[in-house]
A and B are shown apart, each in its own frame.
Chain A
């Protein structure tokens, strides 16, 4: 596609429910990142994929959060037993993923998650 897309745009759920957030990166981008942006804050890193593998998941806040990228393209961020503190905008970004220099990350429009 022309850019990074994320679905849904908005998600409202109840405390304790399970949610899945989807990211469709730019075609050909091997690197994919998830960030979380709480109200009034800058985005915070959650997890990084290179191809199909999660190369760095050090930003995931706890084991209720999990992400996959089974075919090296689309990624899904999964949150179990949601809590009100999980309410935030979840941003996805992709980049070429080369090892020379630093590639620009292109961001999607984000998913706004609201946990009631």
Chain B
């Protein structure tokens, strides 16, 4: 079974600044996938970024990037040039590929507040 830990229940950042959200995970599998999802008040989970464990290069998507430390089982999300629209709950998740069953295991989330 997989587990995900997000140790920061709340974070805040000044608009236009950079913030890093932490995530650690545990799995006995060698082939797994990591995700960061954003959940605004509308409740809809939106994919921010994904990382395949077999890839050494850290994933980036515009202002969002990850620091994937496989040996430490750490997967942090860096948001650069923070914008008001980034305010939301952020969830880290992990899954393994099991013949099509890709159920996600989520952490408890980090609430990000953007200070204007």
B is bound to A: yes
Q: How many A-B residue pairs have CB under 8 A?
A: 66
How big is the B interface, by class? 20 to 34
Contact B108 A42 (CB under 8 A): yes
Contact A33 B103 (CB under 8 A): yes
Contact A105 B42 (CB under 8 A): no
Determine which of B33, B43, B105 lies in contact with A102 in the assembled complex, contact meaning CB atoms within 8 Å.
B33
If A41-B108, A43-B91, A43-B104 touch, whether A104 touches B42 (CB-CB below 8 Å) is: no
Residues of A within 8 A of B101 (CB): 48, 50, 55-56
Residues of B within 8 A of A56 (CB): 101, 103
Determine which of A45, A55, A109, A112 lies in contact with B104 in the assembled complex, contact meaning CB atoms within 8 Å.
A45
Instruction: Check A40 for interface membership: any CB of B closer than 8 A.
Output: yes
Q: Could you jot down 24 A-B contacts, CB within 8 Å?
A: A40-B108, A41-B108, A41-B109, A42-B91, A42-B106, A43-B45, A44-B106, A45-B105, A48-B103, A56-B101, A91-B43, A93-B45, A95-B102, A99-B99, A101-B97, A102-B97, A102-B102, A104-B47, A105-B47, A105-B104, A106-B47, A107-B37, A107-B46, A108-B44
Hey, which bits of chain B sit against chain A, CB under 8 A?
Answer: 4, 33, 37, 42-47, 50, 52, 91, 93, 95, 97, 99-109
